[in-house]
């Protein structure tokens, strides 16, 4: 029910994934009448792999997380997370209110023992392929220990999803020299240097999209990570607007735009943020994926697909085991 467009987007995207993955089973959680109406004849077609779970409430996009948690016990969000908790679902995908989703997920699913705070991880396109970054906004005022925990969890996810043995982990800083950075970053660097992780050192903001060195995972405080992510969104929006404006100036530029349409389309495809939609909450005892609220069908489809991949790769179990192993190593050290 969530996101800026609700079932208009989430249902066609779900149907598309059902069509493309014959192993996928989906439970659509929300207002049954609304869902049934959007499904129409597709309901019969996917009878065996598609169920509806009714929810009488819905968390608003601007509702406070605390209020949603307290007053919306029959919301689609809460019920979907309950399904994960109770083992009826392997993952919950939502385009709804991020804060409420995080608070509800944390309350219902609980944390992996040894992890203090959940973190948000996502994939970002780069010049040479893509990279992963966390935390993108779940936490502010992270300590060095938090950053270290994020690195352990994120590296395990990258390992599983990308089939990389030793993901290269970088720590986001304002320079690559040892003397640079704030206190948390300097202390986190020490923890990472002394860990079993493949820590490559400091990386700068441009490495999120255009780093000269290969880095598979970028670790950052949630405040800084969120600002960086939104700064990138703003830059892309400005550049996209300028490009559109240049081609819409007059009938001649419009004609030019038509001529080069296939080229612009292939350009757009390569950096299309919709193909990178979906952020996983790490640190919880269950899989929750957050789609961008403004996601369209293509973008929401990407988020559902991400859930399928992370379920198949058994990411949550692997992270839990790795965290336990890391804790045990510390105790014996």
How many other β-carbons are positioned within 10 Å of the β-carbon of residue 317?
Answer: 12
The reply on whether position 231 binds its own copies by CB under 8 A is yes
The reply on whether position 131 binds its own copies by CB under 8 A is no
How many other β-carbons are positioned within 10 Å of the β-carbon of residue 61?
Answer: 14
3-state secondary structure of 48: coil
Taking 3-state DSSP, the helix, strand and coil percentages for the chain, each rounded to the nearest 5, stand at 50, 15, 30
If the CB atoms of residues 246 and 329 are measured against its own copies, the closer one turns out to be: 246
Distance CA 316, CA 218 (A): 19
Which residues make beta-bridge pairs with 279?
Answer: 122, 290
User: What is the number of alpha carbons within 13 Å of residue 260 lying toward its C-beta?
Assistant: 12
228, 205 contact by CB (below 8 A): yes
The reply on whether position 172 binds its own copies by CB under 8 A is yes
Token readout for 36 is: 């049934």
Distance, first Cα to last Cα, the chain: 48
The reply on whether position 143 binds its own copies by CB under 8 A is no
User: What is the number of alpha carbons within 13 Å of residue 72 lying toward its C-beta?
Assistant: 26
172, 211 contact by CB (below 8 A): no
Q: Taking the complex as a whole, how short is the minimal distance between the CB of residue 213 and its own copies, in angstroms?
A: 13
The reply on whether position 294 binds its own copies by CB under 8 A is no
Kindly tell me which residue out of 140, 309, 328, 329 binds its own copies, with binding defined by CB under 8 A: 140
Kindly tell me which residue out of 64, 143, 195, 198 binds its own copies, with binding defined by CB under 8 A: 64
How many other β-carbons are positioned within 10 Å of the β-carbon of residue 66?
Answer: 11
The reply on whether position 331 binds its own copies by CB under 8 A is no
* E strands present in the chain: 26-30, 50-54, 91-94, 119-126, 129-134, 168-172, 198-203, 217-219, 279-282, 287-290
The reply on whether position 213 binds its own copies by CB under 8 A is no
Site string for its own copies, 185-204 (x = CB under 8 A): x------------------x
Kindly tell me which residue out of 196, 239, 309, 329 binds its own copies, with binding defined by CB under 8 A: 239
The reply on whether position 242 binds its own copies by CB under 8 A is yes
- Read off φ and ψ for residue 274, nearest 5 degrees: -65, -25
The reply on whether position 205 binds its own copies by CB under 8 A is yes
Q: Taking the complex as a whole, how short is the minimal distance between the CB of residue 94 and its own copies, in angstroms?
A: 18
Distance CA 77, CA 60 (A): 10
The reply on whether position 104 binds its own copies by CB under 8 A is no
The reply on whether position 71 binds its own copies by CB under 8 A is no
198, 167 contact by CB (below 8 A): yes
Kindly tell me which residue out of 25, 67, 249, 330 binds its own copies, with binding defined by CB under 8 A: 249
Q: Taking the complex as a whole, how short is the minimal distance between the CB of residue 207 and its own copies, in angstroms?
A: 7
Kindly tell me which residue out of 73, 241, 317, 324 binds its own copies, with binding defined by CB under 8 A: 241
Token readout for 328 is: 């045990």
Report how many residues bind its own copies under the rule CB under 8 A. Answer: 58
If the CB atoms of residues 167 and 205 are measured against its own copies, the closer one turns out to be: 205
Kindly tell me which residue out of 253, 314, 321, 329 binds its own copies, with binding defined by CB under 8 A: 253
The reply on whether position 267 binds its own copies by CB under 8 A is yes
3-state secondary structure of 116: coil
Interaction residues for its own copies, span 110-129 (CB under 8 A): 125-127
* Sole window of 2-10, 100-108, 173-181, 190-198 interacting with its own copies (rule: CB under 8 A): 173-181
Where do contacts with its own copies occur on this chain (CB under 8 A)? 64, 125-127, 137, 140-141, 172, 174, 179, 181-183, 185, 204-211, 220, 222-224, 226-239, 241-243, 245-247, 249, 253, 256-257, 259-260, 263-264, 266-267, 270-271
């Amino acid at each position: 029910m969530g996101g800026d467009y609700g079932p208009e987007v989430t249902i066609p995207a779900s149907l598309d994934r059902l069509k493309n993955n014959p192993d996928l089973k989906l439970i659509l959680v929300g207002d049954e009448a609304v869902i049934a109406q959007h499904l129409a004849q597709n309901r019969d077609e996917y009878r065996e792999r598609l169920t509806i779970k009714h929810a009488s409430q819905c968390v608003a996009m601007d509702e406070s997380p605390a209020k949603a948690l307290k007053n919306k016990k029959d919301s689609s969000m809460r019920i979907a997370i309950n399904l994960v908790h109770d083992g009826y679902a392997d993952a919950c995908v939502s385009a709804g209110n991020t804060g409420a989703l995080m608070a509800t997920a944390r309350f219902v699913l609980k944390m992996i023992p040894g992890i203090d705070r959940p973190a948000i991880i996502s994939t970002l396109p780069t010049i040479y392929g893509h990279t992963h970054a966390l935390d993108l906004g779940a936490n502010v005022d992270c300590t060095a220990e938090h950053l270290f925990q994020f690195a352990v969890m994120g590296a395990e996810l990258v390992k599983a999803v990308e089939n990389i043995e030793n993901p290269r982990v970088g720590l986001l800083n304002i320079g690559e020299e040892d003397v640079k950075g704030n206190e948390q970053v300097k202390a986190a660097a020490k923890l990472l240097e002394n860990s079993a992780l493949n820590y490559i050192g400091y990386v700068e903001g441009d490495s999120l999209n255009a780093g000269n060195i290969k880095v598979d995972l970028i670790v950052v405080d949630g405040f800084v990570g969120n600002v960086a992510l939104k700064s990138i969104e703003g830059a892309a929006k400005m550049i996209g607007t300028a490009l559109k404006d240049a081609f819409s100036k007059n009938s001649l530029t419009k004609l030019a735009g038509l001529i080069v349409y296939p080229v612009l389309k292939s350009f757009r495809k390569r950096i299309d943020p919709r193909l990178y939609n979906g952020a996983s909450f790490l640190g919880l005892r269950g899989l929750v994926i957050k789609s961008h609220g403004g996601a369209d069908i293509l973008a929401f489809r990407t988020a559902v697909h991400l859930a399928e991949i992370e379920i198949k790769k058994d990411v949550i179990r692997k992270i839990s085991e790795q965290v336990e192993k890391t804790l045990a190593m510390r105790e014996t050290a």
